[in-house]
């Protein structure tokens, strides 16, 4: 007898996980602007080990993405079909593409203006071939890939690669992890693989593409573990919600290899903890972080656009010897432009395009709640 697929109920949104996305996005912004902050406020240098590890937020995003997509689509992919596969890819493209193409066109406009003005640019990062690769979200699939055009979009290209295999990966994890011990083993195995890949990624070919696979699969495995968690296990994870910042603080005391591994495992446990039914702590339920998480994709994709402009019109190196008041004003200007870019993109591009595309797709695809 053929198994009967369960009746699909749209999953509720987990606000605490949205907050995690906000924290990750903010950490990446700090990572990219850290040298500028040190120019203005050298006293902050003691925090450099944490700030310079901000790139770890990207694999953190991948793990979170694998978990949230599994949470949203596990019942939908009870059985595989081409129609469901097309539905999924269409919705994911509708989610990521408008902001991606908008920011890409903004960079194109900046490059054309720079060329007309005679500004010096490293044209190796702005070739026609690279632009076409960006349009099709395949830039990291190039064996000679280097950061180009809108730099953060490299991770979107890599994640798009993971989306193509998501239904098959989800079914494989569910099939192999039908029992609690095997599901835990899967999660631990891929988290170890993720840590090893992050530490040694540039020892392999396609490092910026393939990093998404162990991390993304780790998120899928974590969701499988989540399915087996009982009340006692969820209660035992409550402390993680309060102590996760210590995983970041550990970067002040341990070498990179150890701190990266601590971050990957602690973040994974945090995701499990926040996805449980137990009450979350007020930090992760903070409305500011939830709002930040809601707009985190726009923040992630636009902050380097603000950076390109700021480096041209207001380089912070010119204010190293300035008064503390002038340096605070400059940092406030930096912060304001980043916020302006991200908020305007979210409200003018991301949110309306998401709503429009979902309404246009209604009746063509089965619209599930888009994971943020």
Q: pLDDT value at position 5?
A: 45
Using CA atoms in the order 47, 52, 55, 56, what is the torsion angle rounded to 10 degrees?
A: -50
Quick one: pLDDT band at residue 367, thresholds 50, 70, 90? very low
**What is the mean predicted confidence (pLDDT) over 331-350?**
92
The secondary structure of residue 280, as a DSSP letter, is P
**What is the mean predicted confidence (pLDDT) over 190-218?**
86
Chain centroid to CA 259: 19
Q: Answer yes or no: are the C-beta atoms of 150 and 301 closer than 8 Å.
A: yes
Q: Which two tokens mark 39?
A: 């120019």
Q: Answer yes or no: are the C-beta atoms of 49 and 323 closer than 8 Å.
A: no
Quick one: pLDDT band at residue 366, thresholds 50, 70, 90? very low
Q: What is the pLDDT of residues 207-240, one digit of tens each?
A: 888 889 999 999 999 998 888 877 767 777 777 7
- Residue (of 283, 266, 179) closest to 227 by Cα position: 179
Report the range of poorest mean pLDDT among 25-29, 229-233, 345-349, 361-365.
Answer: 361-365
**What is the mean predicted confidence (pLDDT) over 79-98?**
83
Rg of the chain, C-alpha, whole Å: 21
- As a whole number of angstroms, the distance between CA 205 and CA 200 comes to 11
- As a whole number of angstroms, the distance between CA 251 and CA 218 comes to 22
Q: pLDDT value at position 10?
A: 53
Global model pTM greater than 0.85 = yes
Quick one: pLDDT band at residue 280, thresholds 50, 70, 90? low
CA torsion through residues 227, 66, 71, 19, sign: positive
Helices (H) then strands (E): counts for the chain: 16, 0
Chain centroid to CA 159: 9
Quick one: pLDDT band at residue 3, thresholds 50, 70, 90? very low
Q: pLDDT value at position 7?
A: 47
Q: Which two tokens mark 303?
A: 């902050």
**pLDDT of 297 over the 90 cut:** yes
**pLDDT of 346 over the 60 cut:** yes
Query: In whole angstroms, how far apart are CA 213 and each of 13, 81, 264?
Result: 25, 22, 14
Q: Answer yes or no: are the C-beta atoms of 64 and 18 closer than 8 Å.
A: no
Q: Answer yes or no: are the C-beta atoms of 350 and 83 closer than 8 Å.
A: no
**What is the mean predicted confidence (pLDDT) over 120-136?**
83
Q: Answer yes or no: are the C-beta atoms of 129 and 138 closer than 8 Å.
A: no
* Average model confidence (pLDDT) across the chain: 83
**pLDDT of 344 over the 90 cut:** yes
Q: pLDDT value at position 281?
A: 60
- As a whole number of angstroms, the distance between CA 160 and CA 96 comes to 9
Q: What is the pLDDT of residues 243-274, one digit of tens each?
A: 777 777 888 888 888 888 888 888 898 888 88
Q: Answer yes or no: are the C-beta atoms of 255 and 261 closer than 8 Å.
A: no
359 or 143, higher pLDDT: 143
Q: Which two tokens mark 273?
A: 């903890």
CA torsion through residues 99, 156, 312, 322, sign: positive
6 or 333, higher pLDDT: 333
Q: pLDDT value at position 370?
A: 40
By CB atoms closer than 10 A (0-12, 13-18, 19+), residue 124 is exposed
Where does 275-322 have alpha helices with state H? Answer: 287-294, 296-313
Q: pLDDT value at position 136?
A: 94
Q: pLDDT value at position 58?
A: 92
Q: pLDDT value at position 285?
A: 81
Q: What is the pLDDT of residues 139-170, one digit of tens each?
A: 999 888 888 889 999 999 999 999 999 988 88
The secondary structure of residue 282, as a DSSP letter, is T
Q: pLDDT value at position 360?
A: 64
Give the other-Cβ count within 10 Å of 62's Cβ.
24
Residue in this structure with the two tokens 């010897």, named with its chain if needed: 321
**pLDDT of 364 over the 60 cut:** no
Q: pLDDT value at position 250?
A: 80
Question: Domain residues of the chain, as ranges?
Answer: 15-361
**pLDDT of 8 over the 80 cut:** no
Q: Answer yes or no: are the C-beta atoms of 261 and 195 closer than 8 Å.
A: yes
Contacts of 45 (CB under 8 A, 6+ apart): 38
Q: pLDDT value at position 90?
A: 85
**pLDDT of 46 over the 50 cut:** yes
Render 306-364 in DSSP notation, one character per residue.
Answer: HHHHHHHH--GGGGTTS-HHHHHHHHHHHHHHHHHHHHHHIIIIIHHHHHHHHHHHBTT
- Residue (of 217, 205, 206) closest to 141 by Cα position: 206
């Amino acid at each position: 007898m053929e198994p009967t697929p369960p009746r699909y109920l749209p999953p509720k949104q987990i606000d605490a996980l949205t907050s995690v996305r906000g924290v990750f996005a903010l950490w990446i912004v700090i990572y990219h602007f850290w040298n500028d902050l040190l120019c203005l406020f050298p006293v902050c240098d003691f925090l450099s080990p944490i700030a310079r590890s901000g790139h770890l937020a990207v694999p953190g995003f991948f793990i979170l993405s694998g978990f949230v997509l599994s949470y949203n689509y596990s019942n939908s992919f009870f059985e595989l079909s081409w129609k469901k596969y097309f539905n999924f890819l269409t919705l994911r493209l509708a989610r990521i593409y408008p902001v991606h193409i908008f920011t890409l066109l903004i960079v194109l406009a900046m490059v054309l203006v720079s060329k007309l003005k005679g500004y010096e640019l490293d044209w190796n990062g702005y070739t026609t071939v690279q632009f076409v690769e960006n349009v099709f979200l395949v830039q990291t699939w190039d064996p000679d890939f280097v950061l180009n055009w809108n730099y953060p979009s490299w991770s979107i290209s890599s994640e798009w690669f993971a989306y193509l295999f998501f239904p098959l990966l989800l079914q494989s994890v569910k099939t192999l992890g039908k029992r609690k011990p095997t599901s835990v083993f899967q999660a631990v195995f891929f988290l170890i693989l993720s840590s090893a890949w992050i530490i040694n990624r540039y020892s392999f070919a396609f490092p910026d593409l393939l990093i998404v696979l162990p991390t993304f699969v780790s998120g899928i495995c974590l969701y499988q573990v989540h399915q087996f968690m009982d009340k006692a296990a969820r209660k035992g994870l409550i402390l993680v919600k309060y102590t996760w910042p210590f995983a970041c603080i550990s970067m002040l005391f341990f070498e990179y290899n150890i701190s990266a591994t601590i971050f990957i495992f602690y973040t994974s446990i945090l995701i499990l903890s926040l996805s449980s039914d137990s009450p979350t702590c007020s930090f992760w339920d903070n409305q500011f972080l939830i709002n930040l998480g809601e707009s985190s994709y726009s923040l992630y994709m636009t902050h380097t656009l603000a950076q390109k402009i700021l480096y041209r019109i207001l380089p912070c190196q010119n204010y190293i010897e300035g008064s503390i008041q002038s340096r605070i004003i400059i940092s406030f200007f930096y912060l304001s432009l980043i916020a302006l870019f991200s908020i305007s993109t979210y409200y003018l591009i991301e949110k309306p395009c998401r709503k429009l595309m979902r309404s246009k797709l209604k009746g063509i695809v089965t619209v599930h709640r888009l994971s943020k």
